[in-house]
Structure 1
Amino acid sequence: MTKALFGAAAMVALMAGPALAQEPLKLEVFHWWTSGGEAAAVQEFAKEFDAAGGQWVDTAIGGSGSTARPIGINRIIGGDPPGAMQFNTGTQIDELAAQGLLRNLDDVAAKEGWKEALPPAFYEAIVRDGHVMAAPVNNHGQNWLWYNKALLEKNGIAEPTTWDEFFAAADKLKAAGVIPVAVGGQPWQLNLMFNSILLGEGGKDLYMKVYKDLDPAAVTSPEFKKVAETFGKLRDYSDPGNANRDWNVATGMVISGKAGFQFMGDWAKGEFVLANQVAGKDFGCILGPGEKNFVMGGDVFIFPKLKDEQGTKAQDLLATVFMSKDAQVKFNAKKGSVPVRLDVDNSQLDACAKIGVEVLQDPAKQIPATDILASQDVVQSLQDVVGEYWATPTMTADEFVGKWNDTVAQAK
């Protein structure tokens, strides 16, 4: 009997030992990826993390980053931080980093060669006081124009490469009873559309003077005024229901053929993919119209300081997974973005992503997003100005220019 009990105890120990040794590294991940395409993409990271020995605990907040970020920030400040939290690439993490609430990822970044793998602007965007403070996960082109290929072909419209061609196409769609441009009338969406015009029509030099230098003379220039007039003209090609429309709803209008075009970052492509549409066949994509550049935005994850060692180990594992070549390809294929690493195999990317990757080969065309160039006070305030201009058809371009410069002066 003693031998039997000993044997049973040994068997229990053998069974329990590996289970205890293989207990997954659990980590709560806070993000706002809740649309169909986004949810499918984030599951790729979750699967990779779980396969590597982690346990992804998902906290997804519906809406946009402007809705979710305050919730997560309050948790961090209040002493109940998630293990990892999504931010947009750029200055949004400055305050938390300055308050010493975030872990640095220097060891992981050095071990995995992040500096060598990232575009210089993206590496600089995650460094504060010489320390790596976030893990980048994607490179989102913000200045894309998406269109329904069948709809354009039906109406005898070729892909527009200039703004004159675009408005001619929009007039044809309008005459055919189709909404030319699907617009989500939220300030951040409108600002993306405005910036697409600014870069395509005004060029890189004007864009950088306006956002990096905050140059009032650039804003009062005839070139900037023309950009404002072009943006205002787009009101006539939207529909009355655009106010506060979510971006993915607007994308759905293009997918269904209710609308012809949408100005939106390449996360919109995830919705096309989810609808089983193929880039270059069912939908088309243009960096522009006008000057062809790639506005580099994206997402990063910060890692708040945790009290338990297991949580810290889980953070290191997740940071490693985020930047692994395999996970980068799988996630970005569904997210619509391109891998943030420059050293991954891009051969399996779709037609639109290949356009983006080709443009990114020229460092002169790697244009930092506004979140990287300017403070959040400036960025948010200017988004509101753009939103007000869109919602107020009686506001002139000259009045808009004045409000822009006044806002910059107050936000500095």
Structure 2
Amino acid sequence: MRINKLLLTLALSTPALLPHLSYAGEVEVLHWWTSGGEAKAVQPLKFSLEKQGHTWKDFAVAGGGGETAMTVLKTRAVSGNPPSAAQIKGHDIQEWGSLGFLTNLDDVAAAGDWDAIVPKIVTDIMKFNGEYVAVPVNIHRVNWLWANPAVLKKAGVSVPTTLDEFFVVAEKIKSAGYLPLSNGVGSWQDATMFETIALSVLGTEGYTKAFVELDLEMLASDKMVEALVKFKKLRDYMDSDAPERQWYKATSMVANGEAAMQIMGDWAKGEFIALGKVPGKDFICAPAPGTAEQFTYNIDSFAFFDLKDSGDVDAQKALAAAILDKNFQETFNLKKGSLPARTDLDMSKFDQCSLDSLASFKMAERSGDLVPSVSQGMATTSYVQGAIFDVVTDFFNDPNADAKKTAKKLAKAVKAAI
């Protein structure tokens, strides 16, 4: 899987054409966008590169949370054969940068005026030592609740706005003979639900102390115990097949009326759209209960690796520029369900879910209620994230696990991973 230079073969009939001889490069792109909606969303980027004469080599590794992809990437990079770009985000960008694997994209950023068109909270994450080494694709809101309006109506309930309301609504849906909450396999999915419950219980300040500042007292606090108890209660409203299900299958259950609700980031909307569902009619998007004023963000991005072949470097820079191109930003995010990383796009083609998300982002940006997602690798290092995943998943899947002991275990696990 080496990155090789591909010669752009030209039929040269006269010496006058020789100055126009150029090399096309290959970009090998590692990502984990393999679900229906995700696969459709990434296609325009591939076409954009191919229009410029470059070759796109897809390096897709299945797995919604990206854990498998990161394992493969480490093996490739350490062996001296990294891809051109890889789907890396959050603190992992800093880690790869500190190891000397990433390349400087400042020339591309200056040409595209990235500092002016992308929110500072995003550009700060894309830089290592003040230099661009990664490019943002979008801004996801993680703390969403997705619901099937027909199922809610049959159960005689409305979309819950608080955690207490959620459990009352879930109980009524269950009594009416429907599955209240759909979920799938994977510690990242458990962590997505957990961080959402924790945000509701702890509030912005408590969440930040626990998962960004890694305050050990907050991690072992009574509030964390309360969050764990409420998180565990979600299990009462899920089905036994959840451990065998991918996240997008859980979304399709809500879309098809097999389940009432799902707690999941806005990439779920991409699946609803891919299934031909219409927001506001076939599905409802609402802030996760108790978190309407907060915005838990996940920023998909590609980090760019240091390459030696000049043709591939040219292709790599073309890819970096294409990611923040207006047309791609619009096309991709319409399909993916997320917000564009650019702030200067015409949003007239975006649906009400996206417009609500954008309004929430701006409001949270002003109020200080933008918080990085733990489950999506934005809040802390991969080592701390892994420790949190292990504790949270073990607790969620062990019917005899004690919340108070688990909170203390969580603090110890984080301390060991720092």
3-state secondary structure, aligned to 2:49 = helix
On the 8 A contact 1:183/1:245 being kept in 2, the answer is yes
One-letter code aligned to 1:203: G
How many angstroms apart in 2 are the aligned matches of 1:261 and 1:109?
A: 41
CA positional deviation for 1:308? 0.9
1:391 — aligned with what? Answer: 397
Show the 5 A alignment for 1:14-29: 17=17, 21=21, 24-29=24-29
1:367 — aligned with what? Answer: 371
Q: Which runs of 5+ in 1 are unaligned?
A: 1-10
CA positional deviation for 1:332? 0.7
2:173 — aligned with what? Answer: 173
- Rg larger in structure: 1
On the 8 A contact 1:201/1:291 being kept in 2, the answer is no
Show the 5 A alignment for 1:84-233: 84-87=85-88, 89-233=89-233
Deviates more, 1:93-102 or 1:379-388: 93-102
Using structure 1 for the length normalisation, give the TM-score: 0.92
CA positional deviation for 1:211? 0.9
The 1:280–1:17 alpha-carbon spacing in structure 2 relative to 1, beyond 3 Å, is: farther
The 1:158–1:305 alpha-carbon spacing in structure 2 relative to 1, beyond 3 Å, is: same
3-state secondary structure, aligned to 1:160 = coil
How many angstroms apart in 2 are the aligned matches of 1:216 and 1:387?
A: 19
Q: Which runs of 5+ in 2 are unaligned?
A: 1-10
On the 8 A contact 2:33/2:60 being kept in 1, the answer is yes
One-letter code aligned to 1:307: K
The 1:23–1:151 alpha-carbon spacing in structure 2 relative to 1, beyond 3 Å, is: farther
CA positional deviation for 1:12? 5.9
2:356 — aligned with what? Answer: 355
How many angstroms apart in 2 are the aligned matches of 1:169 and 1:279?
A: 21
3-state secondary structure, aligned to 1:103 = coil
Deviates more, 1:194-203 or 1:375-384: 194-203
The 1:172–1:402 alpha-carbon spacing in structure 2 relative to 1, beyond 3 Å, is: same
How many angstroms apart in 1 are the aligned matches of 2:16 and 2:206?
A: 65
CA positional deviation for 1:306? 1.3
CA positional deviation for 1:63? 2.1
Using structure 2 for the length normalisation, give the TM-score: 0.91
How many angstroms apart in 2 are the aligned matches of 1:57 and 1:356?
A: 33
How many angstroms apart in 2 are the aligned matches of 1:296 and 1:191?
A: 14
CA positional deviation for 1:24? 4.2
How many angstroms apart in 1 are the aligned matches of 2:187 and 2:19?
A: 50
3-state secondary structure, aligned to 2:416 = helix
1:176-226 deviations in Å (ceiling 9; x for gaps): 221111111411110010111111232111110101111122233332222
2:4 — aligned with what? Answer: none
RMSD between aligned alpha carbons?
2.0
CA positional deviation for 1:18? 9.4
Would you tell me which structure has more helix in proportion to its own residues?
1
CA positional deviation for 1:254? 1.0
3-state secondary structure, aligned to 1:79 = coil
1:265-305 deviations in Å (ceiling 9; x for gaps): 11111110010001111101112211321111121111211
On the 8 A contact 1:186/1:244 being kept in 2, the answer is no
CA positional deviation for 1:66? 0.3
On the 8 A contact 1:121/1:368 being kept in 2, the answer is no
Show the 5 A alignment for 1:58-69: 58-64=58-64, 65-69=66-70
1:376-401 deviations in Å (ceiling 9; x for gaps): 11111101111001111111210111
1:337 — aligned with what? Answer: 338
CA positional deviation for 1:31? 1.1
CA positional deviation for 1:366? 2.2
The 1:344–1:237 alpha-carbon spacing in structure 2 relative to 1, beyond 3 Å, is: same
1:400 maps to 2:406: yes
On the 8 A contact 1:181/1:259 being kept in 2, the answer is yes
Q: What is the number of equivalent residue pairs in this alignment?
A: 401
CA positional deviation for 1:244? 4.7
How many angstroms apart in 1 are the aligned matches of 2:160 and 2:387?
A: 32
How many angstroms apart in 2 are the aligned matches of 1:136 and 1:35?
A: 20
1:4-63 deviations in Å (ceiling 9; x for gaps): xxxxxxx96169959974764432212111110010001021122223443322221222
